[in-house]
Structure 1
Amino acid sequence: MSVPAPAFDVDAVVLDIEGTTSATGFVVDVLYPYSRARFAELLTERAVEPEVARAVAQVRELTGEPEADPAAIEKTLNAWLDDDRKATPLKTLQGIVWAEGFGRGDLVSHFYDDVVPALRAWHLAGLRLYVYSSGSVSAQRAWFTNSPAGDLMPLVSGLYDTENAGPKQEPASYRRIAESVGTDGSRLLFLSDRPGELDAARAAGWHAVGVRRPGEPYYEQGVGDHAQAGTFDEITVSRSTT
């Protein structure tokens, strides 16, 4: 049985994106088709670029097909998209496409109405804000840079994904982030809609709050025995100066 979120005295808040700060439906209905339509061009015309080449090598390793050609790679990426698989090379290639789409003005990210005012207030109160998402760091940066409220990156102290931190449902990933930011887990608060991620953060010694928004994939499932909030307005955080 989940409980309302208490007040937290922490040094930093770490944010999930999909289902937490932003609508999963926007990602699935807008961003996924955008990347799907551009994978073929990316794989054929830009294969020698280091980031693309590294991702392609990772796809071949994960599928056990060392000789897979661009068409086979594209087929795998699309299958992973259909399954909503959080595969690192998929997220890397999506991030490249999305960052360019945001840069061209084709895309503008989505944030729930309660999120940006809360982030600004927390930042003003001296709390550091970080992002930990399955989306690549480049995609996260583009997302926060190109919001309807303008560039939000000045509010953010760091970005973490499954490549530089590790899988989101493993406690070791959260310990890695805590070490990277130089803050004990007991001074970190993680916000996510996924129970498995909340469990992993708590196992690493963090505070955790489940964000439950109607219409999101994990809303009906709930957040287990974690504290919960329907909006960021229901989360009280502060940073003691003593």
Structure 2
Amino acid sequence: MTGHRERAACVVLDIEGTTSATGYVVEVLYPYSRARFGALLTERADHPEVRRAVAAVRAELGEPAAGPARIEAVLAGWLAEDRKATPLKSLQGLLWSEGFARGELVAHFYPDVPPALRRWRAAGLDLHVYSSGSVAAQRAWFGHAAGGSLLELVGRCYDTENAGPKLEADSYRRIADDLGLPGERILFLSDRAGELDAARAAGWRAVGVRRPGEPHYRAGVGDHPAVRDFSALTVRPPAVVG
């Protein structure tokens, strides 16, 4: 892999394996939420987000009367499978946001990421996020980086609830419509070939990020251009015509 250059009006960022270590999410954030699901479901059942997530789990199971213990067991199972289920991500996002706010959690970013994000913003690019984690979790994540908040660099956040599954081209079309941009002016960065394929099918530009040690590193990124990290990627706004 060598350096790569792109022109785009904005960059849409994946998180796990792209800006941040998947290991941190799995080894720190997942246990944090797993340990707190029970109390959340029993003590805060009237919270609108909890109520909505519980209803979604019951609908998924076809068990309208499923109680807190059953819901907690299902969430734990989905977590063990690393299933990208929207109600699971919503409840995780609620718990993580509170954990970040209390200083119990600090987000991990690879060291090449913050300077690249600042460089791209200074060049006039808009930066957005599309992750399977909830919008609340994304904003908490960028707002609590170890070296200081990066949230001011990020515009819109998209998840599987407001955009759709990350392996479906229609999800990327929805994001492009929301941004008011044609696909060819949007650059998507991810470590997963399937996500890059879906973005390209929607007309987006797509570049793979291949970091050794990440779960999808060996699988590669198909026929997409790839960089080892953000320092190897140069992104500039589209050339002005006329």
Range class of TM-score, shorter chain: over 0.9
Opposite residue 26 of structure 2, the aligned amino acid is V
- Deviation, structure 1 residue 151: 1.2
Distance 1:5 1:87, change over 3 A: farther
> TM-score when scaled to structure 2?
0.97
Whether the 8 Å contact between 2:53 and 2:88 is mirrored in structure 1 is yes
Q: Which residue number corresponds to residue 131 of structure 2?
A: 133
Whether the 8 Å contact between 2:188 and 2:199 is mirrored in structure 1 is yes
* Residues matched between the structures, number: 240
Whether the 8 Å contact between 1:212 and 1:228 is mirrored in structure 2 is yes
Q: Which residue number corresponds to residue 143 of structure 2?
A: 145
Q: Which residue number corresponds to residue 187 of structure 1?
A: 185
- Deviation, structure 1 residue 6: 3.5
Measured in 2, the distance between the counterparts of 1:159 and 1:202 equals 19
Q: Which residue number corresponds to residue 156 of structure 2?
A: 158
Q: Which residue number corresponds to residue 238 of structure 1?
A: 236
- Pick one of 91, 94, 101 that aligns with 1:93: 91
Measured in 2, the distance between the counterparts of 1:77 and 1:100 equals 19
Measured in 1, the distance between the counterparts of 2:213 and 2:198 equals 24
Measured in 2, the distance between the counterparts of 1:228 and 1:152 equals 24
1:107 aligns to 2:105 (yes or no): yes
Measured in 2, the distance between the counterparts of 1:188 and 1:5 equals 19
The runs of at least 4 aligned residues of structure 1 exceeding 2 Å deviation read 3-6
Opposite residue 201 of structure 1, the aligned amino acid is A
- Deviation, structure 1 residue 94: 0.2
> TM-score when scaled to structure 1?
0.97
Whether the 8 Å contact between 2:185 and 2:238 is mirrored in structure 1 is no
- Deviation, structure 1 residue 194: 0.7
| Secondary structure at the counterpart of residue 155 of structure 2 | strand
Measured in 2, the distance between the counterparts of 1:71 and 1:212 equals 40
Cα-to-partner distance string for 1:46-70 (whole Å, 9 max, x where unaligned): 1111111000000111111111100
Measured in 2, the distance between the counterparts of 1:226 and 1:212 equals 11
Measured in 2, the distance between the counterparts of 1:76 and 1:5 equals 44
Q: Which residue number corresponds to residue 218 of structure 1?
A: 216
> Which runs of structure 2 are paired with 1:1-242 in the superposition (5 Å)?
6-240=4-238, 242=240
Whether the 8 Å contact between 1:5 and 1:209 is mirrored in structure 2 is no
Q: Once superposed, what is the RMSD of the aligned Cα atoms?
A: 1.0
Measured in 1, the distance between the counterparts of 2:83 and 2:186 equals 27
